[in-house]
Amino acid sequence: PNIIALNKVIICFIQDAEKIVNIGAGTGNFEWHASEDKTKTFIASEFDLECVEWCKKNRERENIIYTSKTINELLNEYGKFDLSVAIDVIEHISDYKGFL
């Protein structure tokens, strides 16, 4: 319940952003709840391939793309994003400067 509440609060900060990337998307909770706004596109990147496949099967929506691409691959494919989020991933980062 806490992670659902956290994700719903973060959704409030999207505002006018139309193309949003989530680094470390996990089970797609953020995108799932935020994607009710069909004017926005979500790219959810998660390195755990089982999570990506689960999301594709259970949380499919027209305006969500689930992938396991790196940040550089995402930028090459999709260009700039209006907003990037990384929810509950700080403990997985070893190179903070590089990540930012």
pLDDT tens, 10-36? 999 999 999 999 999 999 999 999 999
Q: What is the pLDDT of residue 81?
A: 97
The span from the CA of 89 to the CA of 24, in Å, is 6
CA separation for the pair 88, 97 (Å, rounded): 17
Kindly give the pairing relationship between strand 19-23 and strand 83-85: parallel
The angle subtended at Cα 46 by Cα 99 and Cα 48, nearest 5°, is 120
Amino acid 94: pLDDT: 87
Report the alpha-carbon distance of residue 43 to residue 65 in Å, rounded.
Answer: 5
Please write the tens of the pLDDT for every residue from 36-93.
999 999 999 999 999 999 999 999 999 999 999 998 999 999 999 999 999 888 888 8
pLDDT for 100 beyond 90: no
- pTM, whole model, 2 decimals? 0.89
